[in-house]
Amino acid sequence: MSDRKLNILFGSQTGTAEDVAQRIGREGQRRHLNSNVVALDEYNIAEMVNENVLVFVVSTTGQGDPPDNMKKFWKFLLRKNLPTDSLQDVFIAVIGLGDSSYLKFNFIGKKLYKRLLQLSAKPLIELASADEQHPLGLDSTIDPWLTSLWEKVLQLYPLQDGEQIIPRNVILQPKYKVTKIDEIPQKERKTLDEKIGDSNNNVYTKENPWFTSLLSNERKTSVEHYQEVLLIKFNLEHSNISYDPGDVLMIQPCNIQEKVDEFFQLVAWEADDIINVETLSLHCAIPHGLPQCMTLKYLFTNYLSLQAPPKRYFFELLSHFTTSELEKERLEEFGTAEGQEDLYDYCYKPKRNHLEVLQDFPSACENLKLEYIFDMFPIMQPRAFSIASSLKASPGCADILMAVVKYKTKMFIPRLGVCSTWLSHLNVKEECPLKVWVTKGTISFPKDPSVPVIMVGPGTGVAPFQSFIQERIYTKSSGDLVLFFGCRNANGDDFFREEWDKSMQENSNLKIFTAYSRDQTEKMYVQHRMKEQGELIWNLLNRSAYFFIAGNSKDMPNDVITCLKEIISEQGGVADAEQYFKDLETSRRFQCETWS
């Protein structure tokens, strides 16, 4: 094959699949391949039939759903009128990235691989399913899969005479051309935030967010409670943003000033240094909304991540920058497959962030190269929060229920959630680059107001159900509503007790059963309350009720599903409870929204 082209297509929700795709692209460059890394929805799908090799890196979101930047591609691929021999001349390789604590682990990777085979694509290697829960993380699967991939690729695309694989001690070209300039040109001197959103466009997306402020920021847990949970109200007035119960508010976070200041105390750059960013390749566009010219302070406040654990390529780049042999030896080891256990113990197990790694490698830190700034530090990804309010009941605003993330590892300084810490620091109506937009969630409530609904939402998982309850109470709907809510203490984190008590007085169709896990000797969880109300649950299922779960993915969803199947069997006398449950799933009468 004379055309040594390798397309790496990714479907990524949080940036992980994109990072892996970029890694494959770099390794392709080392093998002198024309590597093209592109999001699936940005790829010209008509070109698929003309390709030699396609590599797919895809994650699974929600309840077995494709990532947002893959949905159009996936919809097209599922068309029934596609010829079954469409891809007969195309070699494919697919790796799915997922978390086995979720019910539909790597569902999209498996479905994509199966569909490509149905279209007669030829597998270069077998499907791989990487698991975030593995002790060594996703790399435990990615590393051996890549070894096999490159063996097969080089059989198709042999190295030309005189060519050798470019060794890792040779640094590759950076992603973008980044140069320091003296001042921002006159045409670029608009307020930088104005360049991101288009105030004349009422369709708000990641590329065109709504700029807003907070209307309120109320703590919903007692001061004595171990975790701070906030009910935050966002101003949507004049935005024309609409949403339904089950929808999600997307928020683009910023780094808090303390972390930005700490970064500029470490590096040789100045916060007020101005940079100009240009593309070096047609295949690597500048992120949408990123100004061409900006100060480094603006860049590291609004765009680049500082507090996440760095990826392997960060360590590889540092090994090129350091002048210390000791640092170089350790950094090079971290970049190899053999060094992954040491890297896990050093970085990923304690959740060591970019700032702390830079502190540990002072020589590399002093010699960071400005042109590699976008290769070292990833773009901060937006965060998704289920909306906890009804637009009909509270027009002009949207609420989220947010736990402020703070936990300890062996590191001296506690780990802080980027978005939750930043939001918790914001004052009401404070002027800041607070960017939001609304997307559809994985939960879709029935439109018929008479349909019964059963909801299980421990902790902040109750947010979408709070939205639905508010809407049904406001519209005086006739359908039965049953909520099983779990928290630790009646006086600690029963977020909406006063509002719920009032709502139950106003609407006899609403029933709320609360499991306080720490208020008695034996722990009480939502599945225990469900067991007590088995007859009620079965009666509602017999009346075509919908059943929803939202919350942490660790143990709760499986425990609730097990309990539900027992109720179906014991209360309903159903011989095959497993099949009954599958029918609920197929008809979308059972839906689950979980996160790790």
* DSSP line for 155-210: HHSPPPTT--PPPTTSPPPPSEEEEEESS--GGG-S-GGGGT--TT-----SSSPE
Architecture of the domain made up of 214-254+382-439: Beta Barrel (2.40)
- 546 near 454, Cβ under 8 Å? yes
pTM, two decimals, is 0.89
Query: In this predicted structure, what is the pLDDT of residue 206?
Result: 86
- 129 near 91, Cβ under 8 Å? no
Tokens of 456: 């299980």
Lowest mean pLDDT, pick from 36-40, 145-149, 414-418: 414-418
- 538 near 566, Cβ under 8 Å? no
> What span, in angstroms and rounded, lies between the C-alpha atoms of 535 and 513?
14
Chain-centroid distance of CA 509 in Å reads 36
User: Is the predicted pLDDT of residue 570 greater than 50, yes or no?
Assistant: yes
Look up tokens 């703590």; give the residue. Answer: 219
Instruction: List where CATH 3.40.50.80 sits in the chain.
Output: 453-595
Please give the CATH number for the structural domain made up of 176-186+256-376: 1.20.990.10
Query: In this predicted structure, what is the pLDDT of residue 414?
Result: 85
Q: Which of 541, 528, 548 is nearest to 466 (CA)?
A: 548
User: Is the predicted pLDDT of residue 199 greater than 80, yes or no?
Assistant: no
Express each pLDDT in 449-490 by its tens digit.
999 999 999 999 999 999 999 999 999 999 999 999 999 999
User: Is the predicted pLDDT of residue 192 greater than 60, yes or no?
Assistant: no
The amino acid at residue 307 is: Q
Architecture of the domain made up of 5-156: 3-Layer(aba) Sandwich (3.40)
- Fold (topology level) of 453-595: Rossmann fold (3.40.50)
Band (197; pLDDT cuts 50, 70, 90): very low
Tokens of 499: 């509002």
Mean pLDDT over 222-237 rounds to 93
Band (193; pLDDT cuts 50, 70, 90): very low
Express each pLDDT in 9-38 by its tens digit.
999 988 899 999 999 999 999 999 999 999
Mean pLDDT over 146-157 rounds to 95
Look up tokens 């930047």; give the residue. Answer: 69
411 vs 305 pLDDT, higher one:
305
> What span, in angstroms and rounded, lies between the C-alpha atoms of 472 and 486?
21
| C-alpha neighbours within 13 Å on the C-beta side of residue 391 | 17
User: Is the predicted pLDDT of residue 103 greater than 90, yes or no?
Assistant: no
Express each pLDDT in 165-181 by its tens digit.
999 889 999 999 999 99
**Residue 562 neighbours by CB distance under 10 Å:** 11
> What span, in angstroms and rounded, lies between the C-alpha atoms of 307 and 413?
12
Instruction: List where CATH 2.40.30.10 sits in the chain.
Output: 214-254+382-439
Band (77; pLDDT cuts 50, 70, 90): very high
Instruction: List where CATH 1.20.990.10 sits in the chain.
Output: 176-186+256-376
| C-alpha neighbours within 13 Å on the C-beta side of residue 280 | 13
- Name residue 93's beta-bridge partners: 55
Helices (H), 9-79: 16-30, 71-77
Q: Which of 274, 283, 278, 366 is nearest to 318 (CA)?
A: 366
428 vs 95 pLDDT, higher one:
95
Query: In this predicted structure, what is the pLDDT of residue 202?
Result: 67
User: Is the predicted pLDDT of residue 272 greater than 70, yes or no?
Assistant: yes
How far is the CA of 49 from the CAs of 80, 88, 554, 555, in angstroms?
Answer: 17, 8, 41, 43
- 127 near 96, Cβ under 8 Å? yes
Mean pLDDT over 124-151 rounds to 93
